[in-house]
Amino acid sequence: MAGDLLAVADISASESKKITVTDFLGKAVTLIADATIPNAKIVFGSASIPGSALQAGAVDATQLAAGAVTAAKLGNESTVDLVTSLPASGAFTGQFALDTDDSKAYIWDGSQWVSFKAAGSVNSVVGSSAGLINITVTTSGDTVTITTSLDNTTGAAEFLGGPTGNAGAVGYRPLVGTDLPTATTSAKGGVIVNGEGLRMDGNTIEVDNDLTASAVHHVVTYSSKGLIAAGRAIQSGDLPVATTAAKGAVIVGTGLSVDGTGLVNHANTVTTGSAPKVSFDAQGHVTAALSLDAADIPNLDTAKITTGTFDAARIGTSTITGAKLANYAISKIGDTTPTADCIGQFFFNPISRDLAMYDGNVYQPIGISVGEIIFAGTFDCSLGSGTGLIASVTAEGTAIGLVIGQALPAAAAGNSSYYLVVSEAGTITTGNAPQVALTPPDIVLSNGTTWTEIDVSQTITAQVASNVSFTPAGSIAATNVQVAIQELDTEKLPLAGGTITGNLEIGTAGSLSFEGATPNTFETTLAVVDPTADQTITLPDITGTVVTTGDTGTVTSTMILDGTILNADINASAAIDGTKVSPNFGSQDVVTTGNVTVNGQGDVRFGDSNSSNYVGFQGPAVVAANLTWTLPAADGTNGQVLGTNGTGTLDWVTGGSTVIAETKQLIDQDYSLSVGFNGVSAGPVEVGASYTVTVPAGAVWVIF
């Protein structure tokens, strides 16, 4: 048992000690010398050695049995590296790589990635110009474009076709009749024109029949093919006789005549005109036009007259008595002004006892008969600080002492029955005139004692506008003042602004001007060039300032749609300063997210501190293929220079007598290996050999 004790004799001390079996075996193993236990003494059970007990790298190819590593033991991408761009080198010679961007496969040959092609793949496409059809092949990357063309014909009207009588090669030849199928009643095809009413005139098919053209109706004879053979003029015997049931030829009878052209006319004639009474013959023809006699009109009862009106000429003088007049026929009576029935009609207001007569427009008041009062002049009530002043005088006014510019004199027997008409409104507060509000055409009348007012304006202003007639004119269709004003108000454009529902056209002599915030002699006028056609200018649906050709400094970058200024819009002589470009090429670092290409062997220049001189790089005149040099990721040490590994990767190398050793193992005798610097080859190197090259200071070395 593991816990059993073993006796141990200590010879030096001549005493006995004890130790457990477990301790004995554990301590004893540590005392075994390395590499002294043979393999045959060790029993290895199945899967008894854990992987962690094996030293890293202890199992190599010699320890693995052939075919021992199955697919399940291989890790992802252990044989094929899935990439979007090839790595700088493979993990081992023979490793596959698949570019998932373009589905191309490569193999690492120990020094470079080599693309390969599948068995049976098309490696090249070759064009051909043999025969009539020419095949041209163009290649761009992985794309092959095949185009074809035909040789030119050797003559006119030639087409591609086989032999005319048998099978054979296709070539150019004219069409012949046997190339076309025979035409049928249901299918198009070739035909032969050899008679039967048709013939060929050059290359045109025409009717095989020539006759003299005639516009006269003829009786004709025709062939079995429907072609007219002959003809003659139609005779009367050729026509059938007309009956009551069928059309045909007739003979003109009594009352009718036929002229030489065959025109049928009435034999009777009469002067053209109209008449209330006519005479006619036995055939019903009008023979004469007559006037009505009084005896022709029978006596009529007045009940027979139901429509129309009698004009004034039909009414005898002094025949209408008062008993025949209707009420209000001459005068209308009431307390409000009525609508007149006729000009000259009176209106009497029994309340105010005013009498007026309708003059066609308004009722004119009638109060004083001519001769009872005398017109002396006009009176301006707005002058004289409340007294009013005489504005004008007649000869009669001068005779009674009235003077222009003076106030009214006191009423007296000498100016009794004289009156003045108010020319300007005003309120009289002092003096001899009536101390009331006076308005044109009020009358100021002297009765010998005082000047009194005859209020004519009140009578006129009391008239209703609908009672004042209006003659329609222009676009106003109303027939009285009230409706005319309403119509004008509806159709007018208010001074404060409004909406025009129709077209507003400004004539050739008109213009559209705008006054600014300051009312002065300066305005902005809209004008147009004389149009040669109807033009339409559409204002944009946005608030802003209209820009004209004479404007400067108004257009901003926000008014220009992004992406609208093209290279062609910029003048070729325009020079854009670096400070105007974002990022600033003149004073700021430029971060470019894509490739920067300088075309046409242009320079990349670096100016000195004051930009008076520069150093630059320039591409070669001819580049056989695209080449990119990759800079090192870190700075080198003092004295080191840039060198390339021959595949476009640059690195820092030390010049002088630095020894650079490189070992290349070539896997194919078709490859060669050379070492050189500054363009001078150091000679070929044997396959599998090591080589040493001494590089002078400042030299650029390359292994190729």
Q: Which of 454, 457, 485, 458 is nearest to 470 (CA)?
A: 485
DSSP-derived pairing of the beta strands 346-349 and 331-333: parallel
Tokens coding 226: 């429907």
Residue 96's pLDDT band (cuts 50, 70, 90): confident
- Determine the average pLDDT of the residues in 667-681: 43
- Reported as a single tens digit per residue, the pLDDT across 337-360 is 899 989 989 988 887 667 888 998
Look at residue 229 and tell me whether its pLDDT is greater than 90: no
- The secondary structure of 437-451 as a DSSP string is EE-TT-EEEE-SS-E
409, HSE (Cβ side, Cα atoms, 13 Å):
15
247-299 residue pLDDT tens: 888 888 777 888 877 788 877 788 888 888 888 888 888 888 888 888 888 88
Phi then psi dihedrals of residue 682, to 5 deg:
-95, 5
Cα(616)–Cα(414) distance, integer angstroms: 123
Q: What pLDDT was estimated at residue 502?
A: 83
Q: How many Cβ atoms sit within 10 Å of the Cβ of residue 332? A: 20
Go through the chain and tell me how many residues it has: 704
pLDDT in tens, 619-655: 898 998 898 989 999 998 988 888 888 888 999 988 6
Helix then strand then coil, % of the chain, to nearest 5: 10, 30, 60
On whether the CB atoms of residues 329 and 321 are closer than 8 A, the answer is no
Give the residue carrying structure tokens 């009786």: 219
Judge whether 149 and 132 are in contact, CB under 8 Å: no
Tell me 694's DSSP state.
E
Q: Classify the phi-psi angles of 656: left when phi > 0, otherwise alpha if psi is within -120 to 50, otherwise beta.
A: left
* Average pLDDT estimate for 405-421: 93
> Cα–Cα distance between 425 and 437 in angstroms, integer?
7
Residues 6 or more apart whose Cβ sits within 8 Å of residue 575? none
Q: What dihedral do alpha carbons 428, 433, 437, 442 form, nearest 10°? A: -150
Highest mean pLDDT range out of 574-583, 607-616, 679-688?
A: 607-616
- pLDDT reported for residue 678: 44
The CA distances from residue 384 to 387, 392, 632, in Å, are: 5, 15, 111
Please give the backbone phi and psi of residue 313, each rounded to the nearest 5 degrees, phi first.
Answer: -65, -25
pLDDT of residue 377: 94
Element (H, E) at 28: helix 21-30
How confident is the model at residue 691, as a pLDDT?
Answer: 47
Cα–Cα distance, 448 to 373 (Å, whole number): 12
Would strands 374-380 and 389-393 be described as parallel, antiparallel, or unpaired?
Answer: antiparallel
Q: What are phi and psi of 296, to 5 degrees?
A: -75, -20
Is 276 within 8 Å of 297 (Cβ atoms)? no
Peptide bond into 583 cis (omega under 30): yes
Residue 117: its H or E element: none
pLDDT digit string, tens, across residues 194-214: 777 888 888 888 888 888 888
Taking the model in full, what pTM does it have?
0.26
> Would you say residue 440 has pLDDT above 60?
yes
Residues 456-461 have a mean pLDDT of: 63
Question: Which tokens sit at 188?
Answer: 């198009």
Which pLDDT does position 147 carry in this prediction? 92
DSSP state, residue 249: B
In a 10 Å sphere around its CB, with 0-12 CB exposed, 13-18 middle and 19+ buried, how is residue 390 labelled? buried
Which residues are registered as beta bridge partners of 587?
none
Extract the tokens encoding 143: 């794309």
Cα 361 to Cα 481: distance, rounded to the nearest angstrom: 9
DSSP letters spanning 588-607: S----SS-----TT-EEEEE
Q: Look at residue 661 in the predicted model and tell me its pLDDT.
A: 38
Q: Please give the share of the chain, as a percent, with pLDDT higher than 70.
A: 83
Per-residue confidence (pLDDT) for residue 677, from 0 to 100: 43
Distance between CA atoms of residues 660 and 677, nearest Å: 12
Alpha-helical (H) ranges within 445-583 are: 456-461, 481-491
Distance CA 1, CA 18 (A): 15
From 1-10, 238-247, 639-648, the region with the lowest mean pLDDT:
1-10
Pairing status of strand 426-427 against strand 418-424 = unpaired
Q: Where do we find the tokens 């554990």?
A: 26
Q: What is the mean pLDDT of the chain?
A: 80
Is the pLDDT reported for residue 380 higher than 90? yes
Task: Note the pLDDT of residue 378.
Answer: 95
- Cα angle 134, 139, 143; round to 5: 115
Least confident of 91-95, 121-125, 308-312, 557-561: 121-125
Tokens of 31: 């005392």
Q: Binning pLDDT at 50, 70 and 90, where does residue 14 land?
A: low
**Confidence (pLDDT) at 424:** 93
Residue scoring higher pLDDT (681 or 353): 353
Model pLDDT for residues 648-671, shown as the tens digit of each residue: 899 998 864 444 434 334 333 333
pLDDT at 430: 94
Measured distance CA(659)–CA(661) in Å, rounded: 6
Minimal CA–CA distance to 95: which of 73, 69, 77?
77
Which residue has better confidence, 516 or 194? 516
Separation between Cα atoms, residue 196 and residue 208, nearest integer Å: 8
Q: What is the DSSP string of 85-96?
A: S--SS-SSTT-E
Cα–Cα distance for residue pair 239/322, rounded to 1 Å: 82
- Residues 430-445 have a mean pLDDT of 92
3-class SS string, 31-80: CCCCCCCCHHHCCCCCCCCCHHHCCCCCCCCCCCCCCCCCHHHCCCCCCE
**Greater confidence, 189 or 677?**
189
Q: What is the pLDDT of residue 670?
A: 37
400, burial (CB in 10 Å: exposed 0-12, middle 13-18, buried 19+): middle
More confident residue, 677 or 71: 71
Q: Which residues contact 655 (CB under 8 A, 6 or more apart)?
A: 639, 640, 641, 695, 696, 697, 698, 699
The pair of three-digit structure tokens given for residue 694, joined into one six-digit string: 């001494």
Q: What is the DSSP code string of 337-369? A: ----SSTT-EEEETTTTEEEEE-SSSEEEE-S-
Distance (Å, rounded) from C-alpha 434 to C-alpha 445? 9
Q: How far apart are CA 691 and CA 704, in angstroms?
A: 13
Per-residue pLDDT tens digits for 19-65: 777 777 677 777 777 777 776 777 666 666 776 667 777 777 777 78
In 440-465, which positions are buried (b, 16+ CB within 10 angstroms) versus exposed (e)? bebbbbbeeeebebbebbebbeebee
- The structure tokens 């409004």 sit at 498
Q: What is the pLDDT of residue 412?
A: 94
CB 428 within 8 A of CB 438: yes
Q: Which residues does 650 contact at the CB level (< 8 Å), separation at least 6?
A: 629, 630, 631, 632, 642, 643, 644
pLDDT at 437: 93
Write the CB contacts of 238 (distance below 8 Å, at least 6 apart in sequence): 219
Measured distance CA(618)–CA(599) in Å, rounded = 10
What's the confidence (pLDDT) of residue 660? 41
Higher-confidence residue: 239 or 403?
403
| Three-state helix/strand/coil letters over 508-534 | CCCCEEEECCCCCCCEEEECCCCCCCC
